[in-house]
């Protein structure tokens, strides 16, 4: 299931990563189930671009193991929300910076279960090889 038409947003260049994350999750049923088991949460991402516009995406690692537009699947609530710039998200997914470093410098804000946020890193690492950022 490609999200290119539905997830990519030209004003948010790093949004291609959400398609890569979803492709990674959908490519292997066993890996998707493992990611859901380890993540056990809905992760929301609020990205802000250079023009000051905000967009939201979510990664459902609680039930489906899929990526979607908006802050949570319909009728659900995110367990943790990560707010950061589109540029910093791109660097994080590309492996050029770490979430912890962004958090400590105030560039990444986390609402909700902070410990669950740490479970996002393995999923982002799998997307690094697929996302062309």
Q: What is the pTM of this model?
A: 0.88
Evaluate whether 78 touches 67 at the Cβ level (below 8 Å). no
Distance CA 18, CA 114 (A): 21
Q: Would you write out the chain's pLDDT as a tens digit for each of its 133 residues?
A: 334 445 667 899 988 889 888 888 888 899 899 889 989 999 999 999 999 999 999 999 999 999 999 999 999 999 999 999 999 999 998 889 988 999 999 999 999 999 998 888 777 876 665 555 4
On the CB side of 92, CA atoms within 13 Å amount to 28
């Amino acid at each position: 299931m490609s999200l290119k038409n539905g997830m990519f947003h030209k004003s948010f260049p790093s949004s291609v990563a959400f398609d890569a994350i979803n492709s990674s999750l959908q490519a292997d049923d066993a890996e998707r189930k493992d990611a859901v088991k380890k993540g056990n949460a809905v992760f929301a991402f609020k990205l802000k671009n250079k023009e000051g516009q905000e967009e939201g995406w979510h990664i459902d690692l609680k039930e489906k193991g899929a990526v979607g537009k908006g802050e949570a699947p319909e009728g659900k609530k995110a367990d943790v929300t990560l707010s950061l710039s589109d540029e910093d998200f791109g660097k994080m997914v590309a492996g050029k910076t770490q979430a912890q470093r962004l958090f400590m410098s105030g560039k990444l804000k986390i609402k909700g279960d902070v410990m669950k946020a740490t479970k996002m890193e393995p999923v982002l690492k799998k997307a690094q090889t697929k996302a062309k950022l």
